[in-house]
């Protein structure tokens, strides 16, 4: 775990190179659609430290839908109509029919929920006249331009739900020859010429080749970053302070990883406040800065001091590596890991070990 105010491909590559120096080169990097992770992988390859890159299934599916439908003539009309319908239905007797809230960031990862809602809502509008003042008449008056998007809604829901069915298979069982065949049968719901279908099948073929290289084509290759993202979600719920603070999350994360014993709990209870401050006192905390600056007019410049504290960094490393109050070394549990920096093969490259590194943007 490494915290920074912003991430670039070069910064991510530096963290990965530090890990490679102590743990060896990972078998594969599991990445989402972020450009920083892709640039980091390219930089590692340029320094002869490259490895296989796996594209997270959820982000691949979202990008396929985005490329196919973001320029659809009814896409903007659909989003605008959903907003108008929401405004008309809220604070009315039909409030339960208002559209679900969806994030505008990474919109195509959850747009299927909005499309499914729209499809179900339109099915309530039966053909024929509606009695004045009836629920059907009120619903029709609130639909705005949603009925004109019926073709877009049908196509998007077909493709999105087909990909979701494939995700249910692949996220649980991994990608193998057997699961690829299952997905081939599922995507037959889309026409053979569909760019979404062709793109998804190309992704499966590419990653199945990687699975064969790793000997996982019969077992199942992990191709989802959901476990990592779920870990961040749990920590955000359990450790949320007055202000969202990545440093605070970083400190809590280890407590949710691995197995913990009663002895571990007893050890934590023995830690004094002074010991905690010795470790965390120099770590930048948004809550701490808020308490120090907000009540004191004229202290804003302290937020821009050149020697402001660094962020939390928790990286696995060798046992004899120096430790500071900010950088903690997670050394236990790596006795069986091979391929350290001192083990270089005849070609001058680091040997691969069986570490699957997952990367996800916090």
173 CB-near residues (< 8 Å, 6+ apart): 179, 220
Q: What pLDDT shows up at residue 281?
A: 66
Structural domain includes residue 286? yes
The pLDDT assigned to 3 comes to: 87
Total domains in the fold of the chain: 2
Assess whether 201 and 277 both reside in one domain. Answer: no
Which of 222, 246, 272 is where one domain is finished? 222
229 and 218 within one domain: no
Per-residue model confidence (pLDDT) at position 340: 36
Q: What's the predicted TM-score (pTM) here?
A: 0.76
Q: Give the SS3 label for residue 202.
A: helix
- As given in the structure block, the two tokens for residue 288 are 């701490």
Q: Indicate the residue among 184, 201, 222 that finishes a domain.
A: 222
For residue 55, the surrounding DSSP H or E stretch is strand 52-55
Q: Is residue 3 part of a domain?
A: no
What's the pLDDT at 161? 97
What pLDDT score was predicted for residue 353? 32
Q: Domain range for residue 102?
A: 57-222
Nearest to 180 by CA among 164, 203, 158, 199: 203
Over the stretch 272-288, which tens digit does the pLDDT of each residue have? Answer: 888 877 767 666 677 77
Burial of 139 (C-beta count, 10 Å sphere; 0-12/13-18/19+): buried
Contact 181, 220 (CB under 8 A): no
Q: Does the residue 295 lie in any domain? A: yes
In a domain, 2, yes or no: no
Q: Clarify whether residues 178 and 278 are in a common domain.
A: no
- Of 222, 249, 278, the last residue of a domain is 222
Residues 6 or more apart in contact with residue 180 via CB below 8 angstroms: 204, 208
Q: Is the same domain home to 61 and 121?
A: yes
Q: Give the pLDDT confidence score for residue 318 in this predicted structure.
A: 55
- At residue 129, the pLDDT reads 81
CA 157, 158, 160, 166 torsion-angle sign: positive
Q: Collect the ranges in the chain with pLDDT lower than 70.
A: 240-242, 279, 281-284, 305-309, 317-362
């Amino acid at each position: 775990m490494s915290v920074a105010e912003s991430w670039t491909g070069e910064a991510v590559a530096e963290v990965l190179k530090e890990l490679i120096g102590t743990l060896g080169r990972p078998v594969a990097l599991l990445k989402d659609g972020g450009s920083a992770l892709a640039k980091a992988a390219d930089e590692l390859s340029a320094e002869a430290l490259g490895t296989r890159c796996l594209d997270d299934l959820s982000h691949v599916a979202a990008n396929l839908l985005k490329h196919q439908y973001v320029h659809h003539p009814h896409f903007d009309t659909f989003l605008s109509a959903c907003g108008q319908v929401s405004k008309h239905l809220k604070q009315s007797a039909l409030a339960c029919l208002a559209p679900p809230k969806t994030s505008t960031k990474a919109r195509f990862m959850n747009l299927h929920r909005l499309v499914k809602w729209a499809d179900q809502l339109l099915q309530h509008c039966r053909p024929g006249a509606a009695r004045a003042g009836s629920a059907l008449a009120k619903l029709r008056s609130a639909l705005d331009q949603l009925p004109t998007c019926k073709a877009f809604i049908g196509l998007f829901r077909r493709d999105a739900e087909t990909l979701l069915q494939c995700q249910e298979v692949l996220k649980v069982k991994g990608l193998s020859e057997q699961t690829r065949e299952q997905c081939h049968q599922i995507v037959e719901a889309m026409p053979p010429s569909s760019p979404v279908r062709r793109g998804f099948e190309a992704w499966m073929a590419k990653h199945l080749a990687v699975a064969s290289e790793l000997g996982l084509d019969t077992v199942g290759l992990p191709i989802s970053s959901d476990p990592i993202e779920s870990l961040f979600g749990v920590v955000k719920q359990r450790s949320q302070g007055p202000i969202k603070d990545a440093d605070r999350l970083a400190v809590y994360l280890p407590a949710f990883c691995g197995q913990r014993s009663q002895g571990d709990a007893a050890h934590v209870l023995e830690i004094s406040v002074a010991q905690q401050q010795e470790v965390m006192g120099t770590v930048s905390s948004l809550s701490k800065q808020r308490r120090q600056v907000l009540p004191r007019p004229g202290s804003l410049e302290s937020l821009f001091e050149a020697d402001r504290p660094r962020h939390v960094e928790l990286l696995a490393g060798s046992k004899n590596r120096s430790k500071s109050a900010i950088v903690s070394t997670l050394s236990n549990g790596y006795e069986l890991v091979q391929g350290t920096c001192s083990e270089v093969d005849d070609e001058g490259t680091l040997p691969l070990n069986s570490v699957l590194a997952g990367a996800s943007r916090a």
